[in-house]
Amino acid sequence: MSEKRPSSPAEPTLVYGFDPICGWCFGFRTAVASLRKSLAGRVRWRVACGGLVTGERITPIAQTREYLERGMVMVEAGTDARFGEGFTKGLLAHGTWVSTSEPGCRAVLLVQSLEGSDKALDFGDELSRAFYGEGRPTDDVDSLERVAKKTKVDARRLLEAWSAPGAEHQTWQAFSKARAEGVISYPSMFLDRGRGLEPVVSGCLPADEALARIERSLAS
């Protein structure tokens, strides 16, 4: 699952380590939107997913409720993000939804493969907002269809690919590749200039600080 257009040697790629069920990625949404505007025409983008919630971390969300509630307080204190009642009083309060990264990341990576990185960024941003703002599960077909339509992604094509035999396996392969490249925390950003990924941003930084770090790396 990779972006369908190759990168130009003269145009570095900014790789965004992202997971739609990462609370700090939700808090980083405004910064990413600002960075996309500030860096327009200067870098290409690629979304990379290594899978935040995999293996033994895949559990009913009730089992991590206290951890998530502490994290939400920190995210809201440090960013302009606000968690909606659809999540706090719906998905989280009910507690039965099984938290797992793969289905949502599968959708984001498929959008990137089918329609390019700009659409993947749009789709991933809206999927994160739908999850934490409205409590819409990232493994629910109706949720994915709604997000696709809102971001002008071909919903039928996406859902066919998302449900296809082998799609889940491809996502796990993408996770392994991203982790091997160093994408192991979220949010994170790297520059790709054809000699491996260069770490640039780690964690949910203010947009101006993230931009300053990217600018320094671009100038080096």
Closest CA to 186 of 20, 25, 21: 25
What pLDDT sits at residue 3? 46
What would the pLDDT profile of 35-47 be if each residue is shown by its tens digit?
999 999 999 999 9
Report how far residue 199's alpha carbon sits from residue 191's, in angstroms, rounded to the nearest whole number.
7
Contacts of residue 100, Cβ cutoff 8 Å, sequence gap at least 6: 53, 54, 58, 139
pLDDT confidence of 117, banded at 50, 70, 90? very high
For residue 81, tell me if it sits in a domain: no
What would the pLDDT profile of 68-79 be if each residue is shown by its tens digit?
999 999 999 999
Report how far residue 100's alpha carbon sits from residue 80's, in angstroms, rounded to the nearest whole number.
25
For residue 143, tell me if it sits in a domain: yes
Q: What are the distances in angstroms from CA 47 to CA 60, 63, 100, 178?
A: 27, 29, 18, 10
Closest CA to 29 of 69, 98, 78, 67: 78
Q: Quote the mean pLDDT of the chain.
A: 95
For residue 63, tell me if it sits in a domain: no
For residue 89, tell me if it sits in a domain: no
What's the average model confidence in pLDDT over 79-88?
97
Closest CA to 212 of 194, 193, 192, 189: 189
What pLDDT sits at residue 1? 52
What pLDDT sits at residue 52? 97
Chain centre distance of CA 10: 26
How many domains does the chain contain in total? 1
What's the average model confidence in pLDDT over 148-172?
98
Closest CA to 122 of 165, 71, 158: 158
Q: Which two tokens stand for residue 153?
A: 């992604």
For residue 174, tell me if it sits in a domain: yes
Q: Which domain holds residue 114?
A: 13-54+100-219
For residue 173, tell me if it sits in a domain: yes
For residue 3, tell me if it sits in a domain: no
For residue 67, tell me if it sits in a domain: no
pLDDT confidence of 10, banded at 50, 70, 90? low
Q: What is the CATH number of the domain that holds 182?
A: 3.40.30.10
